[in-house]
Amino acid sequence: MPNTIDELIKQVEARQDELVQLLERLIRFPTPAPPARNTDEAQRFIASFLQDNGFTVDKWDVYPGDPNVAGVLKGSHPEHYKSLIVNGHIDVAEVSEDEAWEQGPFTPVVTDGVIIGRGAADMKGGMAGALFAVQLLHEAGIHLPGDLIFQSVIGEEVGEAGTLECCKRGYTADFAVVVDSSDLHIQGQGGVITGWITVKSSQTHHDATRKSMIHAGGKRFAASAIEKMMRIIQGLQELERHWAVMKSYPGYEPGTNTINPAVIEGGRHAAFIADECRLWITVHFYPNETYEQVAQEIEEHIRQVAAADVWLRENPPRFEWGGSSMIEDRGEIFPSLEVDPDHPGVQTLKRSHEGVLRMPAVVDVSPTVTDGGWFGHAGIPAAIYGPGDLHNAHSVNEQLSVRQLVDYTKVILKFIYEWGHTKK
């Protein structure tokens, strides 16, 4: 049996068929979200896999049918060596019935150097590589001196934050790597928060009274909530333009921080003046900002807009931010993650990448969001590093290069080994 890390890295190349088969096995579990509540079988497989490789496993329901799995491999000298969380989500993007897949989204196909199937890039490829690395270490009898925690979480695709539930359950480490799609870049990320802005009248009015309302020149102090929401939307556009000029972050194009008026709901009947209107917005912000901060900025700006309007001044907008699930309560939060390039965990990951692949590591920012922000929010230094790219994530015939999967597995194997042997 190989018993050095360099020999194990060679084993990844020699046994790549096993690695691909492991990814195929994961793809065959249909875990799209929405509809969600369908990950139990896949999570039982991962729990069993971790147990077979020496982990103590904690499995608990976040929602019925959607459990988290956290496996702990205690180090031989955890008081003296660094601990690590390897984190990934088992849910995948939703699939429509009319999509033209090669063989079906959950029937993996290996052809022309790629593996095709829902989740290949986002992010069962990252999960398969990390699991295979764990298996190789176990088979070689290598016992890390530092603790290793492997998290397979639910709900990332619909903002259900299985990773947040792991943090709440007390799982922590000296560093965390989220093995989500990054094209083998070491990444931080901006954040996302959704919110509802509600404009509501305390009184209802027949539509025949419109001619006498304040906006029509009459003396009745009333207005359409839908029309007043138009003023709110204009205010959001003004703030978005202000942000585009006044805020920036290295690696992002100007104006990446956006306020999207995504859904509007209002009115009750054609015979009524609309007495309520609700606007669902999605806000993207930079890695050096918090969701609390940007929510406060929006509220302050819109309150100023409302103060300048005679009716909104008396009927001010209400705000509801975030949520725990796009399915359950139509809301989500993805905190930002700012990566410190000088952090020992990032430096070790860079050296592992460069030592294995003989090419410079790229440290940059993701154009999308992952669960990585929950680690930063919990005070755990973290980075995103995984195979797959965003051109394939969520796409029909989603695919992952087998070569990149093998390269990634080599790097994550070396990184787990090196970080687990790093003294505190």
Q: Which residues are catalytic?
A: 91, 156
Report the alpha-carbon distance of residue 305 to residue 319 in Å, rounded.
Answer: 14
CB 69 within 8 A of CB 134: no
Q: Residue 305 — φ and ψ, nearest 5°?
A: -60, -45
Report the alpha-carbon distance of residue 421 to residue 137 in Å, rounded.
Answer: 13
> Bridge-partner residues for 325, per DSSP?
331
Buried b (16+ CB within 10 A) or exposed e, 47-70: bebbeebebebbbeebbeebbbbb
Strands of 147-190 (E only): list them.
148-153, 175-178, 186-189
Report the alpha-carbon distance of residue 3 to residue 120 in Å, rounded.
Answer: 30
Question: Environment class of residue 98 by beta-carbon count within 10 Å: exposed (0-12), middle (13-18) or buried (19+)?
Answer: exposed
Report the alpha-carbon distance of residue 259 to residue 35 in Å, rounded.
Answer: 27
